């Protein structure tokens, strides 16, 4: 790493102070009073410095098949952020804005983003398959006031009762399941960013960062440590309220709330709490929704698929609430009837019959020293025909997902490893497939 990367410039310190100020505002604490804080509106040195996935900044229950790029911002009433990019080769991407409480302000999804003139949107146009990357351009604008999605606008700041006392927030790009697993952004550069001030009087292009974000850069020293502690408190408070304390273990239920966890409005979740005992495993079984397997060349516009994406993820229920592992739809083994069977177990507890069964998917337990785990099932963008059995429908009706989801509900139980070895999932679960 170069000296300039190890020792951020004043502009990068402004970015760090901006994040700290956002978090301080969310906590009701005073903003850090440092010379750098007085340097605004100097722009950050580069855009998309913050990246989060299962290996970098693994916080707030990310999906292991997604990557998130974060741009903190502060916008006045006459300012905006201009974005320009290429549609990625991926299952899904979206632009999302969040306030200082880490709740969603607005979402602009891939198939909602109109292409530039002469370009095509592969997420909305089935005829675009095979078109060159040069014909897949788009532009979008982050605005502080009312946003018109038809004009590729996304709102930066909350309104009404949720209005903040500071005009700050976060822009996050999500990319799920890039066609090329080695290219996290989906084979295209991250969007170009320009900060436009005073109704266009000043335009400041922000170059894309060329070095990976090192968390140690931001968390070293008193300011960085205070920022890290504030972020941890926000995430911990949100995560601890996600599930009621009296929910039985190994039973999937709707979360009480996902507020404060950078929620994605296109996903809904049900979760089951777990705890470790030697020799005990968790068995989960349910019917799998159909999906467009983009890694196998199926376009996301393929008609008739039940969801855009689904996954089962094992997570630590302790700060900073990281994901341990996920099995996405295309990584999950199914039997001839379209049912999945998951076995969640520590390495020494995995039944040999589970490891060798082509219809079983093993999810690692992770550290057995972590007292509580939470297993999430995600549904993304259910189609109209499947919607009544989706997680989304259960939450919209505030009903029991075990009833509304029918055969698509994941039935889970604790089971002795020896019982699974003797009789497979049927020795652990009855009346399920």
Model confidence at 412, pLDDT cuts 50, 70, 90, reads: very high
Model confidence at 246: pLDDT above 70 = no
Q: pLDDT category, 30, cuts 50, 70, 90? A: very low
Whether the pLDDT of residue 196 is over 80: the answer is yes
Query: Residue 228: left if φ>0, alpha if ψ -120 to 50, beta else—which one?
Result: alpha
Q: pLDDT class for 68, splitting at 50, 70, 90?
A: confident
- Residue that the structure tokens 């408070």 belong to: 237
Q: Give tens-digit pLDDT for 343-398.
A: 999 999 999 999 999 999 999 998 888 888 889 999 999 999 999 999 999 887 77
Find all residues with CB under 8 Å of 119, minimum gap 6, and list them: 135, 136, 137, 138
Ordered structural domains, the chain, with CATH? 3-232 (no CATH), 244-427 (2.60.120)
What does each C-alpha distance from 141 to 108, 138, 243, 304, 380 come to in angstroms?
Answer: 10, 11, 36, 32, 25
- The whole-number pLDDT of residue 236 equals 60
From CA 55, how far away is CA 77, in angstroms rounded? 37
Q: What integer best gives the mean pLDDT of the chain? A: 80
Q: What is the pLDDT of residue 230?
A: 56
Position with higher pLDDT, 398 vs 415: 415
């Amino acid at each position: 790493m170069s000296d300039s990367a190890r020792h951020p410039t004043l502009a990068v310190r402004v970015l760090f102070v901006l994040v700290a100020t956002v978090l301080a505002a969310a906590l009701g604490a005073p903003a850090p009073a440092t010379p750098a804080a007085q340097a605004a509106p100097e722009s950050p040195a580069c855009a998309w410095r913050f990246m989060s996935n299962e290996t970098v900044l693994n916080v707030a229950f990310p999906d292991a098949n997604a990557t998130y790029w974060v741009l903190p911002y502060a916008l006045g009433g006459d300012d905006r952020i201009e974005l320009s990019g290429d549609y990625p080769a991926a299952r899904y991407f979206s632009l999302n804005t969040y306030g200082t409480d880490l709740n969603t302000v607005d979402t602009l999804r891939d198939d909602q983003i109109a292409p530039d003139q002469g370009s095509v949107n592969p997420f909305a146009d089935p005829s675009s398959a095979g078109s060159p990357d040069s014909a897949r351009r788009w532009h979008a604008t982050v605005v502080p006031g009312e946003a018109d999605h038809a004009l590729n606008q996304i709102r930066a700041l909350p309104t009404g009762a949720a209005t903040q006392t500071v005009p700050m927030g976060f822009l996050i790009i999500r990319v799920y399941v890039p066609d090329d697993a080695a290219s996290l952004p989906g084979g295209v550069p991250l969007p170009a960013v320009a900060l436009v001030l005073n109704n266009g009087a000043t335009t400041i292009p922000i170059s894309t960062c060329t070095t990976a974000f090192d968390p140690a850069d931001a968390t070293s020293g008193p300011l960085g440590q205070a920022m890290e502690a504030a972020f941890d408190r926000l995430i911990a408070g949100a995560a601890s309220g996600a599930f009621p304390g009296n929910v039985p273990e190994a039973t999937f239920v709707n979360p009480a709330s996902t507020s404060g966890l950078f929620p994605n409005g296109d996903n809904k979740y049900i979760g089951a709490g777990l705890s470790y005992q030697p020799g005990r495993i968790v068995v989960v079984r349910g019917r799998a929704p159909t999906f467009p397997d983009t890694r196998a060349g199926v376009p996301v516009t393929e008609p008739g698929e039940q969801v855009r994406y689904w996954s089962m993820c094992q997570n630590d229920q302790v700060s900073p609430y990281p994901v341990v592992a996920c099995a996405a739809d295309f990584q999950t083994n199914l039997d001839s009837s379209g049912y999945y069977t998951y076995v969640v177990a520590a390495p020494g507890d995995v039944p040999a019959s589970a490891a060798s069964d082509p219809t079983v998917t093993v999810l690692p337990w992770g550290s057995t020293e972590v007292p509580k785990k939470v297993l999430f099932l995600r549904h993304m963008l259910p189609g109209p025909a499947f919607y009544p059995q989706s997680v989304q429908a259960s939450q919209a009706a505030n009903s029991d997902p075990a009833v509304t989801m029918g055969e698509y509900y994941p039935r889970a139980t604790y089971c002795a490893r020896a019982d699974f070895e003797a009789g497979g999932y049927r020795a652990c679960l009855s009346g399920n497939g």
